[in-house]
Amino acid sequence: MLRSRALALWTLVVCLGVVAGAAAQTAPPGPARLAVTDATLDNGLRVLIQEDPRNPVVAVQIFYRVGSRNELPGATGLAHFLEHMMFKGTPTRGRGEISRLIELNGGRDNAFTTKDMTGYYVSIAADRLDLVLGIEADRMRNLLLDPAEIDSERQVVMEERRTRIDDDPEGVVYEAMSSMAYLAHPYRWPIIGWMSDIARINPGELRAFYDKYYQPNNAILVIAGDVKAAQALALVRRYFGPIPRGATPAAVTAMEPAQSDERRVIVRKADAQLPVVNIAWHVPNYKSADAAALELLSTVLSEGRSSRLYRHLVYDKRMVLAAGGEYSYTSLDPTLFWFYATLLPGQTAEAVEQALLAEVEQLKAEPVPAEELERARNQIEASFVWQQDSVFSRASVLGRYEMMGSWHLLDDFLPKLRAVTPADLQRVARLYFAVDRKNVSILLPAPAAPAAR
Amino acid sequence: MRHLTRWLAAIVLVTTTVSAQAAGSLAHREILPDGTVLLVAERPAIPIVVVRVSVPAGAVRDPADGLGLANLTAELLTRGTAGRSGPELDRAIEFVGGSLEADAGRDGATISLSVLKKDLPLGLDLLAEVLLHPSFPADELGRKVADIQAALRRSEQSPEAIAGRTLGPLIFPGHPYGRPAAGTIESVGKLTRDQVVAFYRLHYRPDGANIVAVGDVTTAEIRQALRQRLASWTAPTTALPPIPRPAATVAAESRRISRDLSQTTVVLGRPAIRQDDPDYFPLAVATYVLGGGSASRLYTRVREEKGLAYSVFAAVQPGRYGASYVVSLQTRTDSVTEAVRLVREEMARMGREPVSAAELDLAKSYLIGSFPLRLDTSGKLAGFLGAVEDQGLGLDYPDRYKERIARVTIADAQRVAAKYLDPATFSSVMVGK
């Protein structure tokens, strides 16, 4: 539980690549962190390499600074659709060939799209680095984007949306919250896009999106595993070096106006078995001095069975099956702090909403006891150590912090957490969790149809 | 995501596949005086330790009138001991950023400790307490029963969960593997504390248990630490009853579960074979060709060419006492007929025609070559070692697997496909409109 949530924290992040000319190796202070070699190619590609000889494997992950936040109304889901198309071939590697080559060499590949970025990852025997870099360099600029393949894959993406959202009551209520809480910012639409947009998007739009964002100067390449940094960097230069720099994509300029009202949505689904109550407030991201306190608040509220919401609502009051408070520290733009609860049978959404709000009021009224704060800090610090156990998670975290501006930001995170006081937690709760500016989304079972009575 | 992470299938694969590494380097194995098997893999680079205790206390040992008893018993281990309440246990382990969890699967129950190296003594103290001295407080039992019932109810909104529950008894009629591992809302509501205590006393025993330690710890260190803490652990005199093997073939049946959904979830299944059957290795290769990866026939035809599904796969799922074979997909309501026809046609073709040399090569290369990725974290390695021990495969299993897979021929793959992949022998469940 600790590990999976710790990983979930690293979702979404920034651009504005900071850059140094020559490769520099740094071994920062801190718990057992392996050294990172970083470099920027002449075409702007950022490269991070971490040597780890413990297992004969390597994680190769490439992150593009493009996600659903870079889309426009009427063409939502483009970033994710394009992610699917990245497996559909180039002139030298036809449809299915990329995954076939990876599997033939004993590797695993997959990809993901978030609101802030699109990532492609391969884990493979370390002596196959050459193969993977060749593939990634090829599909960075040479994608076929064949119209017939686009139409076929469109159906797959629509199936994915049905599985993940339309047929999952909790997916529907999540989508409803986001599209209500954001008025002006692109975080309001789902990453996978609206069904009508997926159905409509045309090959020209995919091509234009690809040309705009899939450029070396808009990407971060991370390599972690049983490799030598100098040799790996030479391979990277060989494959990616010849790719010319692209135009710099325009920055996302949308700003969410301050919320001055209360918003509420109720979703009724026939198959919803247990009601769900979500309450969300707009909060800043990692750029704010308050971010570390928000991160600790989330851990105090949610992490483990000794967390507050578990102890109070699950254990003592027996109102809910599960509850928590989720915050995305690394979000590229200001984000939402979500309180969520899944009700036990026999409980009402009204009562659980009041119980969640009472927890919020308690955060404002009383400082969090020192022991609770210390536990939360220990949990986050331990998760940092655990994350180093795999090349996959280390590569992911490096890439995400580089997205935020620099992987060196990782070194600031724990010191920032350590500086937070109980008074800070109380202050941010008062500042951001205003009772008359909240967003509430509730999932309820559909009332029984008259015919069924 | 481009493809759905198939975690269920993935877990099964973790317990059953191959190593490219030499067996000797995987772990140290010894039998402690009380009969417990100890397996240790030293990985000193990162200051973390995983300790995983496995006991023969899985759902397969639920009494017929007490479904869910194994699951409830395991879930209650951390909810109170002779010395500490449940919340006190939670606070103690979480204050140091660690975790201590107990749960029961179909075959066995596990208690898993994850701690930073510096907190290992505390973690082992807590682990020993929940293993040897659980108190099963009545109020905690009431809470846990209500939570399990609510979780079962919530799973009614998951088409995959509904399909899995329905398919189980069709694949394993009359066998414990066909029953729901967590029980039913009704059966769990009837379980008593006396039943839990009796189940615990009989099944949480050192003979038949194994302990796996992986991470920044030496064999001498963990042996000594366990001896100090587990000295009083003794086996009851009553032997555990043997678990029968399920039937090798059963009549195929089909079920339709009506739900107002935009997609239909289709799962086909039948009994299959374990790793102790020589046909297992050719079947693993044939399965990879049919529906194992994104170059597989099902993925290519159903998804890449026709766009009929986001998720479609085939998997052989061996357990300690038997195995199942499952083919699964989700597709929109109006394409179910076409998608299922394609899937059945591809299954039949596996037995009718030989696979190509390129397909065979791909499957073997992947199954052998991807193995190190399955052991690349301490948690994954601990799970693998425990499963190899639980299933009696032997620490040389990784090498044997590699060798057996490498030996599979085109004729082998076709022969086992004809035997195990005939669509007429598969039961089917559809959940949707």
Q: Least CA distance to B302: which residue of chain A?
A: A156
Averaged pLDDT score across all residues of chain B:
92
**What b/e readout covers B265-281, taking b as 16+ CB neighbours within 10 angstroms?**
bbbbbbbbbbbeeeebb
Residue B15 has pLDDT above 60, yes or no: no
Q: Which amino acid is at B62?
A: D
Q: Least CA distance to B91: which residue of chain A?
A: A306
Chosen for mutation from A82, A159, A315 (greatest number of chain B CBs closer than 10 Å) is A159
What is the C-alpha to C-alpha distance for residues A133 and A233, in angstroms, rounded to an integer?
11
For residue A358, give the H/E element and its range: helix A349-365
Residues 353-382 of A with CB under 8 A from B: 371, 374-375, 378-382
Instruction: Return the percentage of chain B with pLDDT > 90, whole number.
Output: 89
**pLDDT tens digits, B247-305:** 999 999 999 999 999 999 999 999 999 999 999 999 999 999 999 988 999 999 999 99
A278 CB-near residues (< 8 Å, 6+ apart): A173, A174, A177, A338, A339, A340, A341, A439, A440, A441, A442
Q: What is the pLDDT of residue A1?
A: 26
Out of B46, B153, B379, whose CB is closest to A32?
Answer: B46
Which domains, from first to last, does chain B contain?
35-230 (3.30.830.10), 254-432 (3.30.830.10)
Q: What is the pLDDT of residue A33?
A: 62
- Answer whether A196 touches B (CB < 8 Å): no
For residue B251, the distance in angstroms to the closest alpha carbon of chain A comes to 31
For range B189-211, the mean pLDDT: 97
**pLDDT tens digits, B388-417:** 999 999 999 888 999 999 999 999 999 999
For residue B4, the distance in angstroms to the closest alpha carbon of chain A comes to 9
Residues 261-280 of A with CB under 8 A from B: 270-274
**Total-model pTM:** 0.91
Q: Which of A83, A295, A303, A326 is catalytic?
A: A83
Provide the 3-class DSSP secondary structure of residue A213: helix
Task: Give chain A's residues under pLDDT 50.
Answer: 1-32, 451-453
Distances (CA, A) of A202 to A148, A152, A179, A213, B27: 11, 12, 24, 17, 54
Which pairing describes strands B427-432 and B254-258: parallel, antiparallel, or unpaired? parallel
Which domains, from first to last, does chain A contain?
10-240 (3.30.830.10), 263-446 (3.30.830.10)
Q: Which amino acid is at B3?
A: H
What residues of A are in contact with residue B331 (Cβ under 8 Å)? 159
Residue B3 banded pLDDT, cuts 50, 70, 90: low
Distances (CA, A) of B131 to A274, A304, B229: 33, 20, 10
Q: What is the pLDDT of residue A421?
A: 97
Q: Do B98 and A382 touch (CB under 8 A)?
A: yes
Q: What is the pLDDT of residue A442?
A: 97
Q: Least CA distance to A375: which residue of chain B?
A: B95
Out of A99, A160, A166, whose CB is closest to B310?
Answer: A160
For range B230-243, the mean pLDDT: 93
Q: Which two tokens stand for residue B184?
A: 């039913």
B171 CB-near residues (< 8 Å, 6+ apart): B177, B178, B250, B269, B270, B271, B324, B427
* DSSP, res B321: S
Q: Which two tokens stand for residue B94?
A: 């979480």
Q: What is the pLDDT of residue B1?
A: 60
Q: Least CA distance to A303: which residue of chain B?
A: B94
> Strand order in A108-113's β-sheet?
A24-26, A36-40, A46-51, A219-225, A57-64, A118-125, A108-113
**Is A372 considered catalytic here?**
no
- Answer whether A408 touches B (CB < 8 Å): no
User: 């070396």: which residue's tokens?
Assistant: A216
The torsion angle over the Cα atoms of residues B155, B156, B160 and B166, rounded to 10 degrees, is 120
* Residue B110 contacts residue B116 (beta carbons within 8 Å): no
For residue B7, the distance in angstroms to the closest alpha carbon of chain A comes to 14
| Strand ranges inside A99-217, DSSP E | 108-113, 118-125
For range B156-171, the mean pLDDT: 95
Using only the alpha carbons of chain B, give its radius of gyration.
22
- Answer whether A3 touches B (CB < 8 Å): yes
For range B41-67, the mean pLDDT: 96
Q: Do A304 and B90 touch (CB under 8 A)?
A: yes
Q: Is the dihedral of CA B422, B424, B430, B433 positive or negative?
A: positive
Q: Least CA distance to B292: which residue of chain A?
A: A103
Q: Do A125 and B372 touch (CB under 8 A)?
A: yes
What residues of A are in contact with residue B376 (Cβ under 8 Å)? 55, 57, 123, 390-392
What is the C-alpha to C-alpha distance for residues B39 and B17, in angstroms, rounded to an integer?
18
Q: What is the pLDDT of residue B372?
A: 83
